[in-house]
Structure 1
Amino acid sequence: MPGARPVPVGAGGTPEEQRGTRNRVARSILDHGPSTAAELALRLELTQAAVRRHLDALAAEGVVEASAQRVYGARGRGRPAKVFALTDCGRDAFDQAYDELAADALRWIARAAGGGAAGDAAVAEFARARVEAQAERYRAALDRVPPEERTKALAEALTEDGYAATARGAPAPASAGGASEQGSGGEQLCQHHCPVAHTAEQFPQLCEAETEVFSRLLGTHVQRLATIAHGDGVCTTYVPRTRTEARGGDAHGGGAAGSTSRTSRTSNATTAKAAGRNPA
């Protein structure tokens, strides 16, 4: 809240106030992904000591867990800061009341189709139909902005559906061979929350269908780097910058879009199959 003063180190507050602040800390991690105490203090306008106290309480309740922050490039002196992420228990408190019902429904679909490969195919067909329905709404939002802003527009549309998504510039990942033929870099689409994470853990077809739709919406091959469903803190998708974007053209217009879309569907097949798994 603008103008609010940091909470003093020794401030206590009523149990209700403490719980309210604790929920704000957990919600901030949900919205922004794994965070350090310093990052949380800055976002919530609290002292780091107060944030650590709330993090300790949340950790004791099994809502968050700490790990060493990953350091890219040259590492400085001292131990890396701790980064805090929501646990499965912590995520359960946010919009996952219907997970078991969804999983039961998908198991029924698989059994009704005969199980085995036929059952997997039936679940995949359902997953594609479900995501395609969402994609129609997203497509309208993407068509209103220029190509270079479409990843951000997709993130905003996903956020409206409860995925707490963000987009930011990023270099090409090593698994993509560094600088790709499409450009020297691109963007990372990060979903800090997944309302169907537990169901997607059992049915990776949900992640695969989502990855395929992202590729078609953005008109380029995309690469799923991590998923909440399989233990990562954030669902992360790498979106390369296309030549069309570099020229400032319209990736969704004319025959070029159809060609790009067809190419992305073919080249994205391998990535989509791995979308529900942690990268090795």
Structure 2
Amino acid sequence: MGEADRSAAFDSVRGPAPAEEQHGTRNRVARSILDHGPSTAAELALRLELTAAAVRRHLDALVAEGVVEPRDKRIYGARGRGRPAKVFALTDCGRDAFDQAYDKLAVDALRWIAQSAGGGERGEAAVAAFARARLAAQAEGYRHAVEAAGPDRRAEALAEALSADGYAATARSAPDPRRGEQLCQHHCPVAHAAERYPQLCEAETEFFSRVLGTHVQRLATIAHGDGVCTTFIPRGEAPPTNTSQTTSAPSTSTAGRNPE
């Protein structure tokens, strides 16, 4: 156990840890929520090798600062007795503290593209074309990662590639594992721009469909106010298609709330 962890565990013996040390551990708690999605205090304590009491102190401070917020954990299937566990999710303010410093520049650039195309439907089409071209430039690396992984690890390989680009992505079984998997992006570097221009999310969903070679369904997005961008990937063994093609397997985007 590191010095910061020992400090949190033995505050009652030696007094409060220095402010810098507390701040560093608090950042680790927030970063863990960013990387893994809404989490309980117990999950954070286990993940970070801290005591539950220490994690709760840091969570209380983060809630007071508006960085995280408590929510009821969503339960699938029959609910047991007692109140559902509390999970802690990043707020918009908390996400801003990471790496969204270029949001205004991105929004300004997309607005210029839309206006230069004439606004209205033409402007929306121009933004959509830009969004697709942006992803096409990254297509080769993602395609190689998915193809090298084989059909049973396609979603996991795509999640790893997305994480390398700052999306803090994971792959997990859907509530009904027989139906498929869920690709979860716990962070979106362009979330504020996507809130104004949903074409970014739509192009990304189409891109996932082409890379994975199967129909996918967007269940939730950070841009819509959900805690995590969630994409459903059905079970199947269709090989990835050529991502340079302009057509793709049909995809569906919804504004459904995110399963936490």
Taking structure 2 as the reference length, what is the TM-score of the superposition?
0.90
User: Per-residue displacement from partner, 1:131-172 (whole Å, max 9, x unpaired)?
Assistant: 111222111111212111111110000000000001112245
SS of match in other structure, 1:96: coil
Q: Does 1:7 pair with 2:1?
A: no
> What SS is found at the alignment partner of 2:9?
coil
1:25 aligned residue: 29
TM-score by length of 1: 0.84
Deviation at 1:199, TM superposition (A): 0.5
Amino acid at match of 1:101: L
AA aligned opposite 1:208: E
CA distance in 2, matches of 1:171, 1:28: 23
Change in Cα spacing, 1:168 to 1:136, as seen in structure 2 (3 Å) is: same
Aligned residue type for 2:229: C
Q: State the Cα distance separating 1:9 from its structure 2 match.
A: 6.0
Write the distance in 2 (CA, Å) between the matches of 1:148 and 1:124. Answer: 31
Q: Which residue number in structure 2 is paired with residue 215 of structure 1?
A: 209
Q: Distance in 2 between matches of 1:2 and 1:170?
A: 36
What residue is the counterpart of 1:233 in the other structure? 227
Q: Which amino acid aligns with 2:250?
A: S
- Partner in structure 1 of residue 85 of structure 2: 81
- Post-superposition, which runs of at least 4 consecutive aligned residues in structure 1 deviate over 6 A? 1-4
Q: Which amino acid aligns with 1:116?
A: G
Task: Return the alpha-carbon distance in structure 2 between the equivalents of residues 225 and 213 of structure 1.
Answer: 15
> For 1:167 and 1:49, how far apart are their aligned partners in 2?
30
**Percent of counterpart pairs with the same letter?**
70
Say whether 1:94 aligns with 2:103. no
Asked whether the equivalents of residues 192 and 223 of structure 2 are also in contact (C-alpha less than 8 Å), the reply is yes
The farther-off stretch of 125-134 and 142-151 is 142-151
Q: Cα gap change, 1:230/1:9 in structure 2, threshold over 3 Å: closer, same or farther?
A: farther
Question: In the alignment, which residue of structure 1 is the partner of 2:197?
Answer: 203
**Runs of at least 5 residues in structure 1 that lack an aligned partner in the other structure:** 173-178, 246-250
1:45 aligned residue: 49
- Please tell me the root mean square deviation across aligned C-alpha atoms, in Å: 2.3
Residue 166 of structure 1: which of 167, 170, 188 is its match? 170
- Partner SS, residue 149 of structure 2: coil
Aligned residues: 252
Structure 2 matches for 1:241-256, cutoff 5 A? 241-242=235-236, 244=237, 251-252=239-240
Which amino acid letter does the alignment assign opposite residue 88 of structure 1? Answer: D
- Where 1:211 maps in the other structure, the secondary structure is helix
* Aligned partners of 2:214 and 2:249 also within 8 Å: no
Q: Could you tell me which residue of structure 1 aligns to residue 38 of structure 2? A: 34
